[in-house]
Chain A
Amino acid sequence: MNACHKLVFIGEPGAGKTTCIAALSDIAPVTTDVGCTDDLARRKASTTVALDYGEMDLGEQGMLRLYGLPGQERFRFMFDVVRDGAMGLVVLVDAASAQGLDGLAGTLATYADELRQRPFVLCLNKHPDPPMAFRERCMAMLRDQGLVAPLLVIDARSRSDLAQVFRMLCLLLDHGDYPVLDGERGGA
């Protein structure tokens, strides 16, 4: 029986969720970006307000299903779709913009309790070498929520960077204690 693993990307609009899934997916990613009328529209012409989906065929090791979810509270209900069997999460932060910190604050406010139950990697994106002060702010936000996670600097377009993120997540899973991941084996 082939295993099905779910990997979830969450982050503010513009943080790089669609980019990550496009870089990884074997199939054309299903992206539900739509035009926005609110203040987001000024930041990004087309932005994720719903779910991104992609797949990576791992051969004998099953299928990796990739989901991109917005960080804002009003889309929280969508996590129900991915909760069962989610091996872990990638929290994306736009490190090129000061608003990235606000986005992270929003994502953590929405998802802190989910993040406590699963391994996740905090990925600073869109900046080759984010300043230490920026990294410190991100880590302080995690600490404030009682969360502990590795911080990686990535380029969301780079498949090898994403492979490193995946490796890190697997390291956390191999050495950590996390609740049994229901549905992990189900080939839904």
Chain B
Amino acid sequence: MRLACHQFLATDVEALRSLLRLLESYLRNRWEVVERIDRDIDLVLVNLDHPAPAPLPDGLNRIDCAARPRLRHRACIHRPLRASEILTVLNDAVSAEARPVCAAVSAPTGRHRLAAWPLQLDGWHDDALRILATLTSRAATQAEIVAATGVAPARVDVVLSRLRDQGLLELATQRVPPAPRIVHGNVVPGRWRALATRVGRLLGLPA
């Protein structure tokens, strides 16, 4: 399986390579760290602490890493990377090949409409928050959610069914015309996140 690091220092990447050698006998799959991030990557580690976050292609399976992960979200892991967390994350990862199959099986025809956000957000990880943010302004199909969030289809399904269980999600039954997608002509994806990072720093959140 192929693993990539997004916006990590070269020394961090080297450390990860040695960690993989140490963990080899405990890992379910053979993992290699590659430089190029393309759609066939099985997992991407993302450095949330990078001062200028760069967008990633949609649909990637990602794990966020930060120096203070608990200030981010529950699924975020430590940076510098810790052996125990890396082991869990890699052994849980679904390969990129397996993902399109999940999508084909579960792709629903209708659009999901969010009726309300959960009353408390503890335990909803970053992927789930991105899905909720997407559904806040429009109803969307599973495929549209995948495209808008970059979250793997299988994980989108997990979040959608959790929302449905809590009575927060409705399936728009009649064929709704697609919500008009207003294109922000000169807007770079993820630009608001960069602004949030800046504001967070000014307000004393750890880098």
A complexed with B: yes
Partner of B119, one of A58, A139, A159: A139
Most interface-central of A58, A87, A149, A177 (chain B CB within 10 A): A177
Interface: A61 (CB within 8 A) = yes
What is the bound-complex CA distance between A177 and B179, given in angstroms? Answer: 9
Interface: B198 (CB within 8 A) = yes
- Asked whether, in the complex, the Cβ of B136 is within 8 Å of the Cβ of A119, the reply is yes
B interface residues (Cβ-Cβ under 8 A, vs A): 114-117, 119-121, 129-130, 132-138, 148-149, 179-182, 184-186, 189-196, 198-200, 202-205
- Asked whether, in the complex, the Cβ of B204 is within 8 Å of the Cβ of A160, the reply is yes
- Asked whether, in the complex, the Cβ of B190 is within 8 Å of the Cβ of A177, the reply is no
A interface residues (Cβ-Cβ under 8 A, vs B): 5, 24, 56, 58-59, 61, 64, 87, 119, 132, 135-136, 139, 142-143, 148-153, 159-160, 162-163, 166-180, 185
- Asked whether, in the complex, the Cβ of A174 is within 8 Å of the Cβ of B193, the reply is yes
| Given A143-B115, A148-B115; A177-B192 close (CB under 8 Å) | no
What is the bound-complex CA distance between A77 and B148, given in angstroms? Answer: 36
A and B contact pairs by CB, cutoff 8 A, 22 listed: A59-B198, A61-B194, A61-B195, A64-B199, A87-B192, A119-B137, A148-B135, A150-B132, A151-B119, A163-B200, A163-B205, A166-B203, A167-B199, A168-B129, A170-B193, A172-B137, A173-B192, A174-B193, A175-B133, A177-B137, A177-B180, A180-B182
Report the minimum CB–CB distance from A144 to chain B (whole Å): 11
List chain B residues, Cβ under 8 A from A132.
119
Give the nearest-CB partner of B184 in chain A.
Answer: A180
- Asked whether, in the complex, the Cβ of A143 is within 8 Å of the Cβ of B116, the reply is yes
| Given A5-B195, A180-B184; A58-B202 close (CB under 8 Å) | yes
Partner of A175, one of B120, B148, B184, B199: B148
Q: Top 7 nearest A-B pairs by Cβ distance?
A: A176-B137, A170-B192, A170-B196, A175-B133, A163-B203, A159-B203, A173-B192
What is the bound-complex CA distance between A174 and B136, given in angstroms? Answer: 12
- Asked whether, in the complex, the Cβ of B116 is within 8 Å of the Cβ of A175, the reply is no
List chain A residues, Cβ under 8 A from B202.
56, 58
What is the bound-complex CA distance between A183 and B119, given in angstroms? Answer: 34
Give the nearest-CB partner of B72 in chain A.
Answer: A167
List chain A residues, Cβ under 8 A from B193.
170-171, 174
What 8 additional pairs, Cβ within 8 angstroms, besides A5-B195, A166-B196? A61-B195, A162-B203, A171-B193, A172-B133, A175-B133, A175-B136, A176-B137, A177-B179
Report the minimum CB–CB distance from A181 to chain B (whole Å): 9
